[in-house]
Amino acid sequence: MHPAPSVILFTTLSGLGFGLLFFLGLGMPDVTGWVAFVFYLIAYGLSVGGLLASTFHLGHPERAWKAFTQWRSSWLSREGWCAVIALLVMGLYAIGAVFFGQRWGGLGVLGAAFSLATVFTTSMIYTQLKTIPRWNMNLTPAMFLSFSLAGGALLAGQITLAIPLLSIAAAVQVLFWRKGDIALKQSGTDLGTATGLGARGTVRAFEPPHTGTNYLLREFVYVVGRKHAEKLRLIAFSLAFGLPLLLIVPPVESTAVKHVLALLAVLSHLAGVATSRWLFFAQAEHVVGLYYGKR
């Protein structure tokens, strides 16, 4: 599918922001005053910035509020509600930490739960799409959640947790790529099912449906070269997991050096996740492509 920059920014930034809010809600790190203010400023900047970026993919961003009315059936609507509740609850929790030097534990746990629920509902927007077999599997929410937790732990300075969480996210990413590469083939969808003519026998394209482009081709039939994709996967994996682990695993005595290495690890992880997200959309084979002879 067409990798829209707005959606890449949305899934990358909001996942990292809500991951940080999750750990802050659990009291990790246990900070108050100005230090807490900085942490919450970063978390809200990433979360809200990502959510705002997502509206630019809409044809009419001013109508985004209507998404909240379909929470019974729409994962997009549920995502909106979870995000609003998480931000409001964590906002009250942040007021206690920043201005009163107190952690209202129950409020923090509730905010942490809704922060993680927001990431899950975001992932389900893509997981539910049977027309895109690469997304329509359990590894999609697992990837979104593991990325969010790993990035959140890095931002929160929870190195002891970040190391295993980054390792888990790396394993999930590899499994997602391996299973995703054969998902379309295993789905049983082909040109016969795409055209509805499969019952008549083997179906092959005599000529393209039309000579020009159209909306479906622009949005749903984006082709990435195999060699190009393999290089990007290597870059994404190295930046998102390899380099951050190399930066945070070795013991360092200097506090200043630790902070610098942690910052570099976060920036590397962010760049790697953004690259992975680009591939997440660019390599998503929509079954409508079969109608146009794409395989």
Domains and CATH numbers, the chain: 5-291 (1.20.1630.10)
Nearest-angstrom CA–CA distance, 3 and 57 = 11
pLDDT at residue 105 in the model: 82
The model's pTM is 0.92
pLDDT range class, residue 30, cuts 50, 70, 90? very high
* CA-based radius of gyration for the chain: 21
Contact indicator for 287, 194 with CB cutoff of 8 Å: yes
pLDDT at residue 172 in the model: 98
pLDDT at residue 214 in the model: 76
Which sign does the torsion angle of CA 19, 25, 30, 35 carry?
Answer: positive
C-alpha closest to that of 221 among 128, 169, 283, 138: 283
Asked if residue 70 has pLDDT above 70, the reply is: yes
Query: Per-residue pLDDT tens for 209-228?
Result: 666 777 777 777 787 877 88
Nearest-angstrom CA–CA distance, 28 and 23 = 5
Looking at per-residue confidence, does 103 or 100 come out higher?
A: 100
Q: How far is CA 54 from the centre of its chain?
A: 12
Average pLDDT along the chain:
91
Tokens of 281: 């959309």
pLDDT range class, residue 294, cuts 50, 70, 90? low
pLDDT at residue 295 in the model: 58
Residues 6+ apart with CB under 8 A from 204: 191
Question: Phi and psi for 152 in degrees, rounded to 5?
Answer: -65, -40
Nearest-angstrom CA–CA distance, 244 and 163 = 9
Helix, strand, or coil (residue 95): helix
pLDDT at residue 66 in the model: 76
117-140: average pLDDT: 96
Tokens of 106: 């129950």
